[in-house]
Each structure stands twice: as structure tokens, then as C-alpha cells.
């Protein structure tokens, strides 16, 4: 059934796109429910909306869609070589012919001339079929590239969005610390006249404030640049600071699901990644190129049929004759390149070398993916411990602020001590968000690398809707 679809590019091209994409998505893990609720967009609903919109408006995804159309056009061109070719010409002309040795005889051909011809390849030793198979690989590769681009885009958007939340929390802490230093410096200047502070201490406080201003300005610039980059990556118009959340809920780690994903990935030998599949397809492509090249010096057989008409007038000294001439031709012919200067031999050797290279690259890619997955899993386990430790520190800092607030109400603690504790609480809060963001980012990478990213499920419904 699939071959029939591919053999009819005009009527079945859209169906091929849909079924090809279904095949691409089939490489992903079918059961993604085991990780439901554990990815960044599950804790940040606004991120889920952005990722979904990126499928329609991201520049990278649009470019991949164009590549799919280019591959389909190439497939159509490859398949056309197996179909009959029809051509002809039509002329309304007047041609006169005279012979110098017999000036009394003239021939004039005038009127309507036409020629119609049909040609059909018969037997090319499988070369035309292999060319079509190679073009199909190109379409499948572009489909895979589309899915891979969206997968990587989702991972990048998650990481970038989490980083923006961390930068916002860091910026809130930096602003609070700067304001505290401004207040402390103003108070110190007021007490300078009474001798409570030396001029050198005032200068040191001013220098500390200048350093804080500089650090805050750097964070502001990086934060603004990060928002612009994220907007450009996702295809949205703008991302304001106010639209970013102030909190990042503590994520849960589905350890059983993570172990199952890693075990399945190792069992597959790391060959389910996009890079591994691409190298597998390169091996197939090189094999097809070899099959095409090895029949390069064999005769190729084709059939042809032609029909033509011309009107002729023959004039001599004694008579004038008019006649219409029609020709019908049916033929079976062969084209045979007997010697091409070892070009065919070179093509075969090149195809075999390319195949060996792709096989080696497949092995290296698979082993590298296995190493990456195992490393990510180990890092995730460490980040779970880091989250627990950061939450403990934040709890201690919050308890400290609560105790100082009670002491401040009783008049036992100065305002400066309370302000300093609150700045420390904001710093601990920013650090806690940072640790959570690192965990979610690495967990997202691991899930995506293992082929269980749920975002790929959006591709099927979208293409089904567009191709109807």
C-alpha cells in the first residue's frame, strides 16, 4: 500500500507525508504517561502554551517544513523517470527545395507539420527503482528532521524559560540588596558628622554600592537579552518580565519511570536517537547508490512509439504532385555505455566507502548517546539531592527571618539586621529556584533523549488537520 501511495505523487503525496510522519513518531516511546506531570510545562502552564505555539510559528520549524516540501519535490522527480514520457511538436511552415543539377524540379513542403512520441523505460536493472527508494529516504529523513527540530526546540525552550525564571529571581535579590546598601550608605553619611563613621568607611561602602550597581546592570542586560532570544526562538512577539512567574514549584522525580526509560534505551543500544537513525539511513542510501552504480555499464532498454504528419508538393517541368506523408514508428531500443573511463568503478568504490563510514558513525553515535543518557541519569539523581539541600537552607533562612521579625517588634533587633536577613532569604530563594531549574532542564533532556517526549504527540494531530 505504501508503494502505491508513493507511485502516485499527485494524488497521494499528502497521504505519504502523514503516514511518513506517523512512522517517524513511531520511533518515540509509545507510553509517555509514565512521565506525565513531571516536565517543566506541567508545572508552568504558560510554557506549555508557548511550546505548542512554537510548532506553528517558530522560524526553525517553518524552515523544516520547507525542507519537507523540497524532499517531496525530489521524490516526485525521481519517480517520474519510471513513468511514460510524452512529447511532440507542431509547426505551420513552408519549405522549398531546389536541386542545382535539375532546375526544372522543385519540392515545396507547406502546411501543418506535427510529431507525437511516447517513450517508456522497460528494464534498467533496478536502477530506477533504487533511485526512487533513495528519494523516499530523503523524504523520510526530512520528516525525521522536522520531528527532531521540534524536539530540540522544545528542550531549548524549556531550558531557556527556566533560565529566565532563575534570572528574574536573581535580579529581584540583586535589586533588594542594592536598595539595602543605598539605605545603609545614606544612614552612614548622616552619622558621619557625629564621628560614628570614618570617611574611609564611607568610601568603602560607596565602592561596595557601585559594585552592586554594576552587577545589577549586568543582570538586567542579560535578562533583557535572554527574553528577546526566547521570543525569537519561540516565534512570539514579546516576553515581558511581568509575564514570568516568581515561583517555581518543587518538582517530583519519577525514579521508577526514569529507570525504565534508561533500561529501554540501553536495551536498544542507543539506536533510537535521531542521529543514529540518520546514520542508519545513510547506510541504506550508500547501499542504494552502490546498486545504482554497479549497473551503470549494463544496457538499458526502453520502448518508444511515434506518429508524424507532413504535407509535400513535388513540382517538375511536366507535373505537380501533392501528398501527405504520415509515419508510424514502434521500437524497442537499448542504450549501452560500454566504457566510461572507470567512472562506474569509482562510483561503486565511493558508495562502499560511504557505507562503511556511515556504519562507523552509527556505532560512535549509539555509544555516545548511551554515555549521554547514563550521565544525565546520574546528574539527575544528584540534582534531586541538591534540591532537598537547597530547600533545607531556604527553610532555615525563612525561620531566621521570622524570628528576627518577632525580635524587631519587641525592639530587640535593629532594622538593618532584619533587612540583611530578608536579603539573605531572597538569595536563598533564588538559589532554590536555580537548583530546581537545573533539575527540570536535565530531566527534560533525559526524557527527550530517551524518545519519550510527549511534545511529539502534537505533530500527528497538527499534520492530520493541515493535510485534510
Burial class of residue 113 (count of CB atoms within 10 Å of its CB; 0-12, 13-18, 19+): middle
CATH class (in words) of the domain with range 2-466: mainly alpha
Looking at residue 196, the DSSP 8-state letter turns out to be S
The domain locations on the chain are: 2-466
pLDDT for 54 equals 84
* CA 172 to each of CA 43, 89, 228, 442: distance values in angstroms, whole numbers, following the listed order: 21, 78, 19, 25
Give, rounded to a whole angstrom, the gap between the first and last alpha carbons of the chain: 19
Report the length, in residues, of the chain. 468
pLDDT by residue for the chain (468 residues), tens only, comes to 233 333 333 344 443 343 344 334 444 443 445 577 899 999 999 999 998 888 777 887 888 888 889 999 999 998 888 889 999 988 887 777 666 666 566 666 777 788 899 999 988 888 888 889 988 988 988 888 888 888 889 999 999 999 999 999 999 988 988 888 888 888 777 777 676 667 778 888 888 888 888 988 999 999 999 999 998 888 888 888 999 999 999 999 999 999 999 999 999 888 888 888 888 888 999 999 999 999 988 999 999 999 888 776 665 556 666 677 788 989 898 888 888 889 999 999 999 999 999 999 989 989 999 999 999 999 999 999 999 999 999 999 999 999 999 988 888 888 888 888 998 999 999 999 999 999 999 999 999 999 888 888 877 544 433 343
CB 299 within 8 A of CB 334: yes
| Max Cα distance, the chain (Å) | 141
pLDDT for 463 equals 43
Rounded Cα distance between 211 and 246, Å, is 25
pLDDT for 19 equals 37
pTM above 0.75, yes or no: no
Looking at residue 302, the DSSP 8-state letter turns out to be E
pLDDT for 277 equals 86
Amino acid at each position: 500500500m505504501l508503494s502505491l501511495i508513493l507511485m502516485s505523487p499527485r494524488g497521494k503525496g499528502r497521504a505519504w507525508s502523514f503516514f511518513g510522519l506517523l512512522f517517524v513518531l513511531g520511533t518515540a516511546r509509545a507510553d509517555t504517561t509514565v512521565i506525565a506531570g513531571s516536565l517543566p510545562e506541567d508545572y508552568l502552564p504558560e510554557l506549555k502554551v508557548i511550546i505548542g505555539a512554537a510548532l506553528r510559528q517558530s522560524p526553525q520549524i517553518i524552515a523544516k517544513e520547507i525542507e519537507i516540501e523540497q524532499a517531496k519535490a525530489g521524490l516526485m522527480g525521481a519517480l517520474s523517470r519510471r513513468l511514460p514520457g510524452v512529447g511532440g511538436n507542431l509547426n505551420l511552415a513552408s519549405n522549398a527545395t531546389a536541386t542545382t543539377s535539375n532546375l526544372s524540379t522543385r519540392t515545396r513542403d507547406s502546411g501543418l507539420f506535427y510529431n507525437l512520441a511516447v517513450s517508456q523505460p522497460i528494464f534498467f536493472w533496478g536502477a530506477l527503482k533504487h533511485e526512487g527508494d533513495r528519494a523516499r529516504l530523503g523524504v523520510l529523513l526530512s520528516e525525521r528532521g522536522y520531528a527532531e527540530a521540534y524536539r530540540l526546540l522544545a528542550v531549548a525552550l524549556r531550558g531557556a524559560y527556566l533560565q529566565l525564571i532563575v534570572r528574574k529571581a536573581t535580579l529581584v535579590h540583586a535589586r533588594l540588596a542594592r536598595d539595602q546598601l543605598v539605605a545603609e550608605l545614606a544612614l552612614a553619611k548622616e552619622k558621619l558628622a557625629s564621628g560614628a563613621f570614618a570617611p574611609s568607611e564611607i568610601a568603602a561602602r560607596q565602592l561596595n554600592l557601585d559594585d552592586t550597581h554594576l552587577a545589577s546592570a549586568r543582570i538586567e542586560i542579560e535578562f533583557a537579552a535572554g527574553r528577546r532570544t526566547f521570543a525569537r526562538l519561540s516565534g512570539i512577539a514579546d516576553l515581558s518580565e511581568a509575564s514570568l512567574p516568581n515561583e517555581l514549584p518543587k518538582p517530583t522525580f519519577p525514579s521508577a519511570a526514569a529507570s525504565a526509560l534508561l533500561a529501554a534505551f540501553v536495551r536498544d543500544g542507543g539506536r533510537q536517537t535521531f542521529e543514529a537513525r540518520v546514520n542508519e539511513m545513510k547506510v541504506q542510501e550508500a547501499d542504494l547508490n552502490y546498486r545504482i552504480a554497479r549497473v551503470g555499464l549494463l544496457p538499458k532498454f526502453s520502448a518508444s512509439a511515434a506518429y508524424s504528419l507532413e504535407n509535400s508538393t513535388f513540382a517538375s517541368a511536366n507535373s505537380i504532385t501533392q501528398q501527405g506523408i504520415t509515419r508510424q514508428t514502434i521500437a524497442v531500443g537499448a542504450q549501452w555505455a560500454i566504457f566510461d573511463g572507470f567512472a562506474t568503478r569509482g562510483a561503486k568504490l565511493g558508495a562502499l566507502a560511504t557505507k562503511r563510514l556511515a556504519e562507523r558513525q552509527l556505532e560512535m553515535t549509539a555509544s555516545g548517546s548511551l554515555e549521554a543518557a547514563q550521565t544525565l541519569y546520574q546528574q539527575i539523581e544528584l540534582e534531586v539531592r541538591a534540591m532537598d539541600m537547597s530547600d533545607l537552607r531556604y527553610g532555615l533562612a525563612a525561620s531566621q527571618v521570622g524570628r528576627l521579625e518577632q525580635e524587631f517588634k519587641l525592639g530587640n533587633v535593629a532594622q538593618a539586621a532584619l533587612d540583611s536577613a530578608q536579603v539573605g532569604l531572597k538569595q536563598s530563594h533564588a538559589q532554590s529556584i536555580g537548583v530546581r531549574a537545573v533539575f527540570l532542564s536535565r530531566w527534560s533532556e533525559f526524557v527527550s533523549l530517551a524518545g519519550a517526549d510527549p511534545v511529539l504527540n502534537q505533530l500527528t494531530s497538527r499534520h492530520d488537520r493541515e493535510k485534510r
